[in-house]
Amino acid sequence: DAKTTQPPSMDCAEGRAANLPCNHSTISGNEYVYWYRQIHSQGPQYIIHGLKNNETNEMASLIITEDRKSSTLILPHATLRDTAVYYCIVRVDNAGNMLTFGGGTRLMVKP
Amino acid sequence: KAGVTQTPRYLIKTRGQQVTLSCSPISGHRSVSWYQQTPGQGLQFLFEYFSETQRNKGNFPGRFSGRQFSNSRSEMNVSTLELGDSALYLCASSLFTPGTLNEQFFGPGTRLTVL
């Protein structure tokens, strides 16, 4: 699976959009971009995934650049409950269910 | 629908002992994966089971083992415990559809402390 690079930490004001970047410059054509988050003392939670088109669900939006070498997870209106570590993962579609987690980004949403 | 359950939630053992952790997947999920989380190494994949067979294995010593039962419940075992095995052990379950990615649902984890 391709290696990802994320900033170790970010702050965001409550109610504002949180934009979390991820670099995956060595991604291959059949690798998807997945985002999970882990709130303190809980197991990771799936957020969203995509291949090359932008995706949106009830939790977030995922913007993938045209060359697919980077992506941004957008939480449109961050709340205090969004404070967590966010993990960007890239993986192929037939690799079983193994996830390779990097260091992630610790997002702190402040009042 | 009940989520992934893990028992026990907390466990304290001493070096040299062995430990067995249990995971009950979401009803209907047939794939179970285990992860170890430590402050130093982060989240690391241990192994994945489907239909009682190990499909993938991470880079851990043979002291770490697992199994899956016919009802999809899974157990992992760590023998001859070392201080470095102190960690949060997470279990995740998912549906399994060949050739596709499946969302994984994580349990709350078992916090193991080795003294």
Three-class HEC string of A13-28: ECCCCEEEEEECCCCC
Instruction: Strands of chain B (E only): list them.
Output: 5-7, 10-13, 19-24, 31-38, 42-50, 53-57, 64-68, 74-78, 87-94, 105-106, 110-114
Residue B1 has pLDDT above 70, yes or no: no
Looking at residue B38, its amino acid is T
Q: Give the pLDDT of residue A93.
A: 66
Give every strand in the sheet of A105-110, ordered side by side.
A9-13, A105-110, A84-92, A31-38, A45-50
Closest in B48, B103, B108 to A98, CB measured: B48
Q: Give the pLDDT of residue B44.
A: 94
Largest CA distance in chain B: 43
Q: Give the pLDDT of residue B107.
A: 96
Residue B4 has pLDDT above 70, yes or no: yes
Task: Report A:77-96 residues touching B (Cβ under 8 A).
Answer: 87, 91, 93-96
- CB count within 10 Å of CB A5 equals 13
Q: Give the pLDDT of residue B100.
A: 63
The 10s digit of each residue's pLDDT in B12-34 is 999 999 999 999 999 999 999 99
Residues from chain B contacting residue A102 (CB–CB below 8 Å): 42
Residue B95 has pLDDT above 90, yes or no: no
Question: By C-alpha distance, which of B94, B84, B41, B39 is closest to B64?
Answer: B84
Q: Give the pLDDT of residue B70.
A: 95
Task: Report A:26-45 residues touching B (Cβ under 8 A).
Answer: 32, 34, 38, 41-45
Nearest-Cα residue of chain A relative to residue B39? A103
Q: Give the pLDDT of residue A1.
A: 63
Residues from chain B contacting residue A101 (CB–CB below 8 Å): 35, 42-44
Those residues whose C-beta lies under 8 Å from the C-beta of residue A74, and which sit 6 or more positions away, are: A17, A18, A19, A20, A60, A61, A62, A63
A30, B45, B100 from A26: Cα distances, Å = 12, 21, 21
Give every strand in the sheet of A61-64, ordered side by side.
A18-23, A70-75, A61-64, A55-56
Give every strand in the sheet of B19-24, ordered side by side.
B5-7, B19-24, B74-78, B64-68
Alpha-carbon distance A45 to nearest alpha carbon in chain B (angstroms):
7
Alpha-carbon distance A100 to nearest alpha carbon in chain B (angstroms):
7
Q: Which residue has the tokens 């170790």?
A: A8
Q: Give the pLDDT of residue A25.
A: 93
Residue B3 has pLDDT above 90, yes or no: yes
Q: Give the pLDDT of residue A94.
A: 63
Which among B24, B47, B103 is the top mutation candidate for probing chain A, defined by the most A β-carbons within 10 Å of its own β-carbon? B103
CB atoms B43 and A101 under 8 Å: yes
What is the rounded distance in angstroms from the CA atom of residue A79 to the CA atom of residue A54? 23
Q: Which residue has the tokens 């990802």?
A: A4
CB atoms B104 and A98 under 8 Å: no
CB atoms B56 and A34 under 8 Å: no
Do residues B31 and B94 touch, judged by C-beta distance below 8 A?
yes
* pLDDT bracket for residue B99 (50, 70, 90): low
pLDDT tens across the length of chain A (111 residues): 668 999 999 999 999 999 999 999 999 888 899 999 999 888 999 999 999 989 999 999 999 999 999 999 999 999 999 999 999 998 876 666 778 888 999 999 999
Vertex B26, ends B20 and B32: CA angle to 5°?
50
Residue B39 has pLDDT above 70, yes or no: yes
CB atoms A97 and B104 under 8 Å: yes
Q: Give the pLDDT of residue A55.
A: 95
- How do beta strands A9-13 and A105-110 pair? parallel
* pLDDT bracket for residue B40 (50, 70, 90): confident
The 10s digit of each residue's pLDDT in B47-61 is 999 989 998 899 999
